[in-house]
A and B are shown apart, each in its own frame.
Chain A
Amino acid sequence: MPIQYYIFLSLALFSIGVMGTMMRRNAIIIFMCIELMLNAVNLLMVAFSNYWENSNAQIFVFFIMVVAAAEVAVGLAIITLVYRKVNSVDINILNRLKN
């Protein structure tokens, strides 16, 4: 397949992720949409690394996965904490920082 197809595919996945973050109010789903966007970027990087015959991009994907794993561990801990305090994962509740 020419590289263009991979570009379009990952663009589509990325845009769906963006739509998801804007459409949903559930913090966990938004988090998942961010993972989806990261995956779209990863796919693009692997395709380009193949295109340029250069493995640096694949190492970069590896690091993105590392960061994503760390991010999920902390992020889900924060979401659980919020859920314990306000008994909801609705992000609109989180704008009431004062009380």
Chain B
Amino acid sequence: MNPHQLVFWILSVIAIGGALGVILSRNPVASVLFLIVTFFAVSGHYILLNAQFLAIVNIIVYAGAIMVLFLYVIMLMNLNGDVEPQKSKLLQFAGIISGGILFLVLLAAFKTTQLSTTPINASTSIGLISELGQVLFTRFVFPFEISSILFLSAMVGAVVIGKKD
């Protein structure tokens, strides 16, 4: 096992453990923290794939902005484990079963695909910021502009909805 594989396995265990923590912990604040751990592990995977820009943007956007919003809302609503609504055991069990079946079906579908088993290239330069910038501002410049309109409308929407009336 080379160091690359070792790091992959460590990050994968952290990511899956964090994801399980999100759905299993009773306290919403703990869920948020587990989700942040998962995001960091996913960012680690991005670095292994040499997608450095996305790795750091993942941390800034998800861990630094989105999860702070979640934490804000949860803290200000003062939600904790005691007031957490729980589904009945049967429904929870059904949820686990159906999620597991989905996993198996997807797994079986991917099992037969023909993909080469050569290790992926960890030193490719396509994830570096200069390359991505080239593509983003030439081929995808129109979606980029559209996304700014999306942001603006989301901002206005959030302000209108969240305003006290």
Residues of chain A having any CB pair with chain B under 8 Å = 1-9, 11-20, 22-26, 28-29, 31-33, 35-36, 39, 42-43, 46-47, 49-51, 53-56, 58-59, 61-63, 65-74, 76-81, 83, 88-90, 92
Residues of chain B having any CB pair with chain A under 8 Å = 4-5, 8, 12, 15-16, 19-20, 22-23, 28, 31-32, 35, 38-39, 42, 45-46, 48-51, 53-54, 57-58, 61-62, 65-66, 69-70, 73-74, 77, 79, 84-87, 91-92, 94-96, 98-100, 102-103, 106-107, 110, 115-121, 124, 126-127, 131-132, 135-136, 139-140, 143, 147, 150-151, 153-155, 157-158, 161-162
Cα distance A64–B76 when bound, in Å? 28
16 A-B pairs with CB atoms under 8 Å apart are A3-B120, A19-B95, A25-B86, A28-B28, A31-B70, A32-B70, A43-B46, A55-B127, A62-B132, A63-B140, A67-B147, A69-B151, A73-B69, A78-B161, A89-B85, A90-B85
Cα distance A20–B102 when bound, in Å? 13
Closest CB in chain A relative to B70 CB, distance in Å: 6
Pairwise interchain contact A63-B151, C-beta atoms closer than 8 A: no
Pairwise interchain contact B51-A74, C-beta atoms closer than 8 A: no
Write out the residue numbers on chain B whose beta carbons fall within 8 Å of the beta carbon of A5: 8, 12
Write out the residue numbers on chain A whose beta carbons fall within 8 Å of the beta carbon of B116: 2-3
Pairwise interchain contact A28-B79, C-beta atoms closer than 8 A: yes
With A22-B95, A50-B124 already in contact, 17 other A-B pairs whose C-beta atoms are closer than 8 Å: A1-B4, A2-B117, A5-B8, A9-B45, A13-B15, A13-B19, A15-B102, A18-B98, A25-B86, A32-B31, A42-B42, A50-B127, A55-B126, A58-B132, A73-B158, A77-B162, A80-B73
Pairwise interchain contact B158-A77, C-beta atoms closer than 8 A: yes
Closest CB in chain B relative to A68 CB, distance in Å: 7
The SS class assigned to the A binding surface is helix
Choice from A7, A16, A66, A76 contacting B19 with Cβ under 8 Å: A16
Pairwise interchain contact A66-B135, C-beta atoms closer than 8 A: no
Q: Which residue of B lies closest to A23 (CB)?
A: B95
Write out the residue numbers on chain B whose beta carbons fall within 8 Å of the beta carbon of A12: 16, 19, 103
Write out the residue numbers on chain A whose beta carbons fall within 8 Å of the beta carbon of B127: 46, 49-50, 55, 58
